[in-house]
Amino acid sequence: MGNKVVAEFFGTFWLVFGGCGSAVLAAAFPQLGIGFLGVALAFGLTVLTMAFAVGPISGGHFNPAVSVGLATAGRFAWKELPGYVIAQVLGAIAAAAVLYLIASGKAGFDPGGFASNGYGASSPGGYGLGAALIAEIVLTMFFLIVILGSTSKRAAPGFAPIAIGLALTLIHLISIPVTNTSVNPARSTGVAFFAKTDALAQLWAFWVAPIIGAIIGGTIWKWLDKDA
């Protein structure tokens, strides 16, 4: 169990550092030209690379909602869930702290939203709570279906990280304007501590909605796969 939770720590660290780092350090400069597409791709690449690197050790969850969804589908032991979630949240906070130390080295640095998630005034596109919850539930649900399907015994071996990374990229392309994209409670928690917005007050939504979506996705996949 020890090596698994350490792998989850580093995997989640890389996801937050790479994905949120692209938003905080690169997307803030229009001349670099990465924009929403670049940030979305960065998140997908973090999952893809770490799924190949440490996925064989821990399963490559890097996300409490994914762990819950996999447990719901019977592909992960519920008893291992607390250790995974703690490691994921700590990895996200550590990554956000390192990112903050780097970003604050620039004169005049203002953390602002610091790549945090939000709704209402904290939504990039001004979307309300209802829209944010629906988006996070639906997108996390489909994320779990992609994860479970691409890692099933019937799937082509060795391609799961690619499918999962591309799915996360697509999810970000859809929902960055709505919530700045969570689908991952650990990712939302890590940066919320450093944002100068009401990210912490709104954090509950980015735990509740992804976990609900993950449970629905895990349940749907379990039904779809029952006769396989």
pLDDT by residue (tens digit) across 138-188?
999 999 999 999 999 888 889 999 999 999 999 999 999 999 999 999 999
Q: How far apart are CA 152 and CA 168, in angstroms?
A: 18
| Residue type, position 225, single letter | D
**Is 89 a member of any domain?**
yes
> In 3-state terms, what secondary structure has residue 125?
coil
For residue 34, which phi and psi values (nearest 5 degrees)? -85, -35
State the total domains in the chain.
1
CA 98 to chain CA centroid, Å, is 18
* 228/87: higher pLDDT: 87
Contact criterion met (CB below 8 Å) for 86 and 200: no
**Is 13 a member of any domain?**
yes
**Is 227 a member of any domain?**
no
CATH code of the domain containing 126: 1.20.1080.10
**Is 52 a member of any domain?**
yes
**Is 94 a member of any domain?**
yes
Q: Which domain holds residue 211?
A: 2-222
**Is 228 a member of any domain?**
no
pLDDT by residue (tens digit) across 52-71?
999 999 999 999 999 999 99
Q: How far apart are CA 28 and CA 34, in angstroms?
A: 9
> In 3-state terms, what secondary structure has residue 198?
coil
Q: How far apart are CA 149 and CA 160, in angstroms?
A: 9
pLDDT tier, 36 (very low <50, low <70, confident <90, very high otherwise): confident
Q: What is the mean pLDDT of the chain?
A: 95
Does residue 28 surpass a pLDDT of 70?
Answer: no
**Is 178 a member of any domain?**
yes
Contact criterion met (CB below 8 Å) for 69 and 212: no
User: For position 26, what pLDDT does the model report?
Assistant: 84
**Is 206 a member of any domain?**
yes
Does residue 14 surpass a pLDDT of 90?
Answer: yes
DSSP 195: -
Task: Please give the share of the chain, as a percent, with pLDDT higher than 70.
Answer: 96
